[in-house]
Amino acid sequence: SDLQKQEERGELLQPLIFVSLVLCSILLYFKVSLMDPGFVKPEEEEGEGKGQGVVIPQVAGDIKLQRCGYCLVKQPMRAKHCQLCQHCVRRYDHHCPWLENCVGERNHPLFIVYLSVQLVVLLWGGHVAWSGLYFEQSWEWLQHNIFLLVSFLLIFIFTIVVLLLLLSHLYLISCNTTTWEFMSHHRISYLRHSELENPFDQGIILNLQRFFC
């Protein structure tokens, strides 16, 4: 049959890989959006403050753990309360409206993997949409190709957004900082009193190793 001939020629391999990537992207989306991003729980308070009076040697003076004014738990360093999730999140990065969940200590690496897979899917889809276009200066051509043209433009916009988001996160990860710390450096006590601009930075290789491993 035609299907068997296409399989023998390897023509079905690329569509199968593309569909697999799309399914992987969907599964990663639900995984990242539904998982615990690193909520600070009240039962974890015991022993939380031991040895954390000074976590960073470059910080001037003791930085005491503060109790959250919303959920009343002791906040570990780099944690922040999210008013949308109504929880304090460890190594809080940001609250993602597309995921309807925070990106924090536990799901941040998976979030990066999700963005990477999504970027590959968008680039592949953009290539398919572009390859289906042939340009002619006529109204009839526009009527027949308007769907492909709109699809390509939408894919191009989303690709730019995802690419910029992924690159910005990889840059922050390589510096061992978070979006929240980067944007609110002047308002965070353990950064404001630090002798260094970023006391968590231990070099690109070690920063990436600790984040992903």
pLDDT tens digit string along 140-189? 766 777 787 888 889 999 999 999 999 999 999 999 999 999 999 888 88
Active-site annotation holder among 71, 82, 96, 213: 96
Provide the pLDDT for residue 4: 58
User: 67 has which bridge partners?
Assistant: 74
For residue 177, the tally of other CB atoms under 10 A from its CB is: 21
Provide the pLDDT for residue 51: 41
**Choice between 128 and 158, residue whose per-residue pLDDT is larger:** 158
Reference 118, options 164, 84, 74; nearest CA is 164
How do residues 23-79 score in pLDDT, each as one tens digit? Answer: 999 999 999 999 999 999 887 665 554 444 434 544 444 566 788 888 888 888 899
Going from N- to C-terminal start, the domains of the chain cover 13-38+107-212
For this structure, is 88 an active site residue? no
Query: Which tokens hold the place of 84?
Result: 């949308």
Asked if residue 105 has pLDDT above 60, the reply is yes
Average pLDDT over residues 191-203: 86
**What is the Cα–Cα distance from 189 to 185, expressed in whole angstroms?**
9
